[in-house]
Chain A
Amino acid sequence: DVKVTQSSRYLVKRTGEKVFLECVQDMDHENMFWYRQDPGLGLRLIYFSYDVKMKEKGDIPEGYSVSREKKERFSLILESASTNQTSMYLCASSFTGNTIYFGEGSWLTVV
């Protein structure tokens, strides 16, 4: 079975803290994605990566950065967390043109 693992399921951080959300996939997928999910807004793409060290901004990249140093790992970084970044974050991965697999999500609360 394909696994997309988000190591932190529930986090509480303070405003201004630097936050790392980690995602690991075990299928050698070239594409990896970070989304945030908010009630009434559905899922919105923050960043995606189509290869190691390659990235492209999604629809809402402001306040976020990403890192992909190894093919299996894609990290989302909040340089200075703010309360409007309280949300659920979903990581996903896929081969190009193939099924997209999602992690279980990371619930982040910024206080």
Chain B
Amino acid sequence: AQSVTQLDSHVSVSEGTPVLLRCNYSSSYSPSLFWYVQHPNKGLQLLLKYTSAATLVKGINGFEAEFKKSETSFHLTKPSAHMSDAAEYFCVVRPTGAGGTSYGKLTFGQGTILTVHP
């Protein structure tokens, strides 16, 4: 079984300040982890993914995330927020190394809404 917990439903920052969106996961198998962003009335866009290579993963638009197995965390960060970063962010886990139909299943966190103030 696998699960994802996004620790904050809303995060509010000022433009130019750092962003931290927190995600904890549990998985019976070695997981692949993703962060997606969704702007209003749009589909989901992949920001970055971790698939058991480097633990620090760089994504698009200046975002990065660090996989910490000991803490079962995959927090998303950005050094300096931009107004265009305002959106909802989803942390996603899928099992890797598992056999059968579980291989393609995704589990989503509840989402974190990021607000950026001028």
Q: Verify B106–A45 contact, CB threshold 8 A.
A: yes
- Tell me if A's interface is mostly helix, strand, loop or mixed: strand
Q: For window 1-52 of chain A, which residues contact chain B by CB distance below 8 Å?
A: 4, 30-31, 33, 35, 40-45, 48, 50
Task: Find the B residue at minimum CB distance from A49.
Answer: B104
Task: Kindly identify which residue among A41, A100, A103 contacts B110, using a CB–CB cutoff of 8 Å.
Answer: A41
Which A residues touch B36, using CB under 8 A?
102
Q: Verify B43–A102 contact, CB threshold 8 A.
A: yes
Q: Verify B109–A42 contact, CB threshold 8 A.
A: yes
Which B residues touch A66, using CB under 8 A?
none
Q: How many residues on A have C-beta within 8 angstroms of the other chain's C-beta atoms? A: 27
Work out how many contacts link A and B, with CB atoms closer than 8 A: 57
Q: How many residues on B have C-beta within 8 angstroms of the other chain's C-beta atoms? A: 26
* Known contacts A103-B43, A105-B43: A94-B104 contact under CB 8 Å: yes
Q: Verify A48–B104 contact, CB threshold 8 A.
A: yes
Which B residues touch A103, using CB under 8 A?
43
Task: Kindly identify which residue among B9, B101, B103, B106 contacts A100, using a CB–CB cutoff of 8 Å.
Answer: B106
In the complex, besides A45-B105, A100-B46, A100-B106, 16 extra interface pairs with C-beta distance below 8 angstroms are: A35-B108, A40-B9, A42-B90, A42-B108, A42-B109, A42-B111, A50-B103, A58-B105, A90-B43, A96-B104, A99-B46, A99-B49, A100-B34, A100-B92, A100-B94, A101-B46
A-B contact pairs, 10 of them (CB 8 A): A31-B104, A35-B108, A40-B110, A45-B105, A48-B101, A50-B101, A56-B101, A90-B43, A97-B32, A100-B34
